[in-house]
Amino acid sequence: MASKLVPPHGGKGLVCCLLEGKALADEIKKAQGLKKIEISSQEKGDLIMMGIGGFSPLTGFMGKADWKSVCEKFTLSDGTFWPIPIMLATDDASVKAGDEVALVRNGTTMATIKVNEKFELSEADKKWECEKVYKGEGVDSQGDFMATAIKDHPGVQKVLERKKFCLAGPVKVLSEGGFPEKFPGIYKTPKQLRTEMDERGWAKVAALQLRNPMHRSHEYLCKIGVEVCDGVVIHSLVGALKPGDIPAEVRVKAIDVLVEHYFVKKNVIQAGYPLDMRYAGPREALLHAVFRQNYGINRQIVGRDHAGVGDFYGMFEAQEIFDKIPHCGVAGKDLLTQPLKIDWTFYCVKCDGMASMRTCPHSKEDRVILSGTKLRKMLSEGAEVPDHFGRPEVLALLREYYSGLTEKVEIKMQKAASGTGM
């Protein structure tokens, strides 16, 4: 039976750079004799996504023309939509165009790359990239954006810390970085998730992006998706986060408990993907939509402050950006996955249930404002969690996690988490 799912981005099917069988064994052997470069956690996640087809149609890290075009125009240099640069950097001056190099992370050879291009990005270039990709419309992005971002924006900090030389070229991926073993049944490749959705006969599928444990607002968003689509994928980031965020293992358990007790299981799939957060707000929402198209998902739930950090982004800027991106009309080059835009959601005492700004006529005093940041702050400080904020089974898991922490990270409350601006 032919798949009813949205086709992968780029018009070339799933472009997978992960080797298998004899080709894998041969490349691992060859890599032992190559110059080795240590890569970052972010580069590791990007490599794995190229390996499994999550970053289709990319076959490697970007050259300078693609970097500039993505920052400026939201497209690769050939006109294919792409919202965030995917870069590889090193301080090794001896690497040159034409070299083959092994890419290593913490002792594991992740991939090899044929270096087609080597170039430098100056401090001014990096700041320009930050302004284009990470600057939003929130209060932290006003005035001297870079001065604030250098202190408080983890995504900007990573760009500015990028090593001196950028390397571009096709990759051969040799490892999935331990994710299949660490998250069995949760970590899924695009091919695996597509197969599962095809078996269920799904065509119209929504994704709920998660980097926090699911609270009642997430649950409500997910159930809206279930109502209007064939099914919903609760799609969790299982790569690296910033200090103070809750690790993937805890979030996965919390989702399992919630699905077990509060969802019709045939309408929901829990899955994980191996990227690190960039905290790029609107641009990251677009990157999420690109790789979700590759996973077979054609609707992405976008609520307030999607992929944001601090107050760098407007509350619904990640929704609005979908209306501003370029469309060339060429098959395969445009983004097909569309946002499912949902307003502020909360528990309303007078409505006696979950509601949004579009459905609830009552005052702010009647509402329990829900956010992952607010929940983490309350739990980390041992504060009482208000009624209706989270399901008791989930809160029990989270309290157990926080009770075992020996070091606490101060959690900054931003407008989107506190309810300011409602």
Q: How far is CA 43 from CA 92, 273, 409, in A?
A: 16, 14, 25
The token duo for 394 is 């989930």
- Distance, CA of 319 to CA of 316 (rounded, Å): 5
- Residue 300's closest CA among 337, 344, 345, 263? 337
C-alpha to C-alpha distance for 86 and 338, rounded to whole angstroms: 22
Residue pair 321/286 in contact by the 8 Å Cβ criterion: yes
For residues 337 and 302, the answer to whether their CB atoms sit within 8 Å is: no
Active-site annotation holds for 391 = no
Q: Please, which residues bridge with residue 103 across strands?
A: 37, 111
Of 211, 292, 376, 391, the catalytic one is 211
Residue 412, SS3 per DSSP: coil
Q: Are 375 and 215 in contact (CB under 8 A)?
A: yes
Q: For residues 246 and 388, give the distance between their C-alpha atoms in angstroms, rounded to a whole number.
A: 21
Residue 160 · residue 150 · CB < 8 Å: yes
Distance CA 235, CA 270 (A): 6
CA distance 422 to 415: 9
Query: Dmax over Cα atoms in the chain, in whole Å?
Result: 69
Where do we find the tokens 């329990």? 368
**How many helices (H) and strands (E) would you count in the chain?**
15, 15
Token look-up 């069995």 returns 184
Question: How far lies 338's CA from each of 277, 279, 285, 367, in Å?
Answer: 21, 20, 11, 29
Catalytic residue among 162, 194, 212, 278: 212
d(CA 153, CA 279): 8
> Which residues are known catalytic residues?
211-212
